[in-house]
Amino acid sequence: MTLRDLIKNWERTASAPLTQREFRVRLTIADAAKIAALTEMYPARNAEQILTELISAALSELEHALPYIEGDKISSMDELGDPIYEDVGPTSRFAELTRKHLKNDQSH
C-alpha cells in the first residue's frame, strides 16, 4: 500500500487484523503534532490507527525500495526463456526474515 492509497483508505475507513504484540514508540514533538493533525483531519481514525497504517505503508514502500542484487545462480526463466538470477541482496533476506517472524507470530 502506498501513502496515496493510505490516504484514500482513511477517506473510506478500513482496518486489518492486528497482532497481539504491542510496540511502544516515542515521537519527536513535530511528528506528534503531525499525528494530532491527521486525527483532526480524519476523525474516524484515532492516533493508534493512523500510526499503525503509516508504519504499514512505510514498510511496504521500504520493501519495494530495497535493491535487487543479481546472484550467480539462475532461479527461473522468464516467458522469453531468458534466465532470471537469484536475488542475493537485502530484498530476499528481508522477505525470508519476514516469513520467519510471521510464522513465529502465528504459532503463538
| pLDDT range class, residue 105, cuts 50, 70, 90 | confident
Domain check: are 34 and 87 in the same one?
no
Domain check: are 21 and 43 in the same one?
yes
Whole-number pLDDT of residue 1: 67
d(CA 9, CA 54): 11
Per the structure, the complete domain to which residue 57 belongs is given by 3-65
d(CA 22, CA 107): 17
**Residues contacting 51, CB < 8 A, separation 6+:** 25, 35
Domain check: are 53 and 91 in the same one?
no
d(CA 69, CA 2): 23
| pLDDT range class, residue 108, cuts 50, 70, 90 | low
Number of domains comprising the chain: 2
Q: Please give the mean pLDDT across all residues of the chain.
A: 88
Mean pLDDT, to the nearest integer, of 73-96?
Answer: 92
pTM score over 0.75? no
C-alpha cell at 96: 525470508
Closest CA to 8 of 31, 35, 42: 42
Domain check: are 34 and 61 in the same one?
yes
| pLDDT range class, residue 30, cuts 50, 70, 90 | very high
